[in-house]
Amino acid sequence: MRFVIALMRHETNTFSPIPTPLHAFNRGSTDGPLHGEDAVRACRGTNSAAAAFMDLVEGQGDTFVMPLMANAVPSGVVTAEAFESMAATIVDAVREGCDAVMLDLHGAMVAEGYADAEGELLARIRAVAPDVPIAVSLDFHANFSAALIDNATVIAGYCTYPHVDVYETGARAARTLMAALRGEARPVMLWRTLPMLTHMLRQTPREQPMKDIMDRAMAAERDGEVLNASVFGGFPLADIPHTGLTVVIVADADRADAGRRLLDDLCGMAWERRADFVFPIEPMESSIARARAAEAGPVILVDHGDNCGAGGPTDEMTVLAEVLRQELEGVVAGPFWDPAAVAHLIEAGVGSTVTLDVGGKTDMPALGLKGRPLTLTGRVQCITDGHYQVTGPMFTGMKLSLGRTVVLDVGGTLVVVCEKPQEPFDTGVFTHAGIDLSRRKYVLIKSRQHFRAGFEPIAKDIVLVAGPGVCSSDYSLFPFRNLRRPIYPLEADTTLQAA
C-alpha cells in the first residue's frame, strides 16, 4: 500500500498581533516548510505523530510519501498565502493516488478566511479522494468544527499536557486506520463540544479536574470498549465559533452504543466540574515576592501571560522589570524575542558593556497593551547560533533554533535574547549557551504548562506569575465576538443545552 503522511501544525491565538506567514513554518534553522526526504529526515526518530506513522507503515512493508513538514510557533492568524501553499502541497500528493492518508495536525489553526483550517484541509482532500481513509493525530488543544469530524476516518488526540505522548498518539490513530484497511474495524466517530472555556492552567490531565476524565477515556480505549477515546481541553484564545472542550470517540460500528455511553459519561464529568476549570489569578507582585522568600533554588518563575506556546510575542518585559525591582538574585531569564537587540549586542561583541532597550517592540491592540521596552545595562557574556536538539520528554529529538542568541549579564542576572521565539519546554534554550541552571536560584521563563516537561525535574519550587499579554488567564480582558454564546465562565448561568 501507498500512504501520504504530512505534518502541518499551528496553534492560532486570534488576539496575537503577529501574523503567521509561510516562512514561519519551521522551528529549526531554516525558513519555511520542509518537503520530501528533508521532511522525512527531520521527523524520523522524534517524538512526533509523523514519526509513528512512518514507523508503522515501514514496519508492515508498505511505502509512503511525505510532501510536507510545516511546524510554526503559536502566533496570530495564518496568512492565506501560507495556508493555500501548504494545503495545495498535501492535496496534490493525495491526488497522485494513495491507499490512505495520515496527518499530524494541531487542530487549532485559524487561517485568513477559515476559522477551522484543518477542517478545510480535510474537505479539500475529500474533494479529490472521496473514499480514501484519513487518520488524524491532533493536539490536546484542538478546537472542532463539523468539517474536521465529517471528513476524517479516525481522530486521536494527545492525552498529556505537557505533550509527551505525541508519538503514541500517532500510533493510536494509525492502528485504528490499519484495522479499518484490513476490514477488522468499521470506525464511526461520535463527538460533542461543551459550552465552556477551560483555563489552560487548569487543563492538564496530570491533575484534577481533568485527570479522572482523561483516565476514564484512556481506560476505555485500552480495554477495547471503543477504538479511540480523546478528550480535548480546547484552545480558549481563539475567537471562533467552535472553541470549547470537546470529546471525540471512535467506535466500531457494531459497538456504537458503547461509544455513545462513553461520550455521555465523559461530557457529564467535564460539565459537572466546569467551575474547577477556572484558574484563580494572583497579582504579579505578590507572586514574585513569594518567590523572593524561597530558601533554595532553582525556583522556576513562569510568566504565563506572554507565552509564545500560546501565541504571545515573548517580548513583554513587565515581569522581568518587577524581578529586578524586587532585587531577586541569581536569576536567568528568557528567552526574550528581540532581533534588533540581538543584532546590536552581536555588533558590540562578547565582553562589551552595553546599555540598550530590550523587548517591548510589540503592541497588543486587542487587549489595549502598548509595547514597553526595558532599558538594561550589562556585559555581553555569550553569543550563539541558537541551535539545539531537544533532550527532554516533549518532542524529543527535534532540532530547534532560537536564531542568533545573546546572553547579557545584568548585574548577575543573565538575560537571554533571541531572534526567533520559542517556548522553553526544554532546558536546551539555556544549556546550549553554557548556562548551568543548577547554579541559578531563579529561572524566569515564559510558559504555561509545557515547561514542566524539561524544567520540573530540576525545580525546587515553581511559582506561576500572571504577567500581562495576549495569553492572559483573565478572560474578561479579551474582546470575544465570535464565540458561541452563552459560554461558561463568561456567562456563569450557561446551561448544557447551549451545546
Domain ranges of the chain: 2-277, 284-472
Q: Dump pLDDT digits (tens) for 154-199.
A: 999 999 999 999 999 999 999 999 999 999 999 999 999 999 999 9
Q: Dump pLDDT digits (tens) for 383-407.
A: 999 999 999 999 999 999 999 999 9
Cβ–Cβ < 8 Å for 183, 432: no
Share of the chain above pLDDT 90, in %: 97
Q: Dump pLDDT digits (tens) for 344-389.
A: 999 999 999 999 999 999 999 999 999 999 999 999 999 999 999 9
Q: What global pTM score does this model have?
A: 0.94
> What CATH architecture does domain 2-277 belong to?
3-Layer(aba) Sandwich (3.40)
Q: Dump pLDDT digits (tens) for 122-165.
A: 999 999 999 999 999 999 999 999 999 999 999 999 999 999 99
Given the C-alpha cell 533554533, which residue does it identify? 401
The HSE-up count of residue 290 (CA atoms within 13 Å, CB side) is 13
Residue 28 pLDDT > 80: no
Q: What is the per-residue pLDDT for 77?
A: 98
Q: Locate 108 and state its grid cell.
A: 487549532
| Rounded-to-integer distance, Cα 412 and Cα 63, Å | 55
| Rounded-to-integer distance, Cα 467 and Cα 284, Å | 6
Share of the chain above pLDDT 70, in %: 99
Q: What is the per-residue pLDDT for 29?
A: 59
Given the C-alpha cell 461558561, which residue does it identify? 488
Q: What is the per-residue pLDDT for 497?
A: 73
Cβ–Cβ < 8 Å for 374, 357: yes
Q: Dump pLDDT digits (tens) for 76-114.
A: 999 999 999 999 999 999 999 999 999 999 999 999 999
Q: What is the per-residue pLDDT for 235?
A: 97
Q: Dump pLDDT digits (tens) for 254-264.
A: 999 999 999 99
**What does R_g of the chain's alpha carbons equal in angstroms?**
22
Q: What secondary structure, in 3-state letters, does the chain show? A: CEEEEEEEECCECCCCCCCECHHHCCCCCCCCCECHHHHHHHHCCCCCHHHHHHHHHHHCCCEEEEEEEEECCCECCECHHHHHHHHHHHHHHHHCCCCEEEEEECCCCCECCECCHHHHHHHHHHHHCCCCCEEEEECCCCCCCHHHHHCCCEEEECCCCCCCCHHHHHHHHHHHHHHHHCCCCCEEEEEEEECECCCHHHCCCCCCCHHHHHHHHHHHHHCCCCCEEEEECCCCCCCCCCCCEEEEEEEEHHHHHHHHHHHHHHHHHHHHCHHHHCCCCCCHHHHHHHHHCCCCCCEEEEECCCCHHHCCCCCCCHHHHHHHHCCCCCEEEEEEECHHHHHHHHHHCCCCEEEEEECCCCCEHHHCECCCCEEEEEEEEEEECCEEECCCCCCCCCEEECCCEEEEEECCEEEEEECCCCCCCCCHHHHCCCCCHHHCCEEEECCCCCHHHHHHHHCCEEEEECCCCCCCCCHHHCCCCCCCCCCECCCCCCCHHHC
Closest CA to 143 of 24, 21, 11: 11
Label residue 30 by pLDDT band (50, 70, 90): low
| Rounded-to-integer distance, Cα 460 and Cα 446, Å | 18
Given the C-alpha cell 468499521, which residue does it identify? 186
Sequence length of the chain is: 499
Average of per-residue pLDDT across 285-307 = 96
Cβ–Cβ < 8 Å for 110, 78: yes
Position 70, amino acid: A
Average pLDDT, the chain: 96
Q: What is the per-residue pLDDT for 26?
A: 87
Contacts of 35 (CB under 8 A, 6+ apart): 66, 67, 68, 69, 89
Average of per-residue pLDDT across 309-327 = 96
Q: What is the per-residue pLDDT for 498?
A: 52
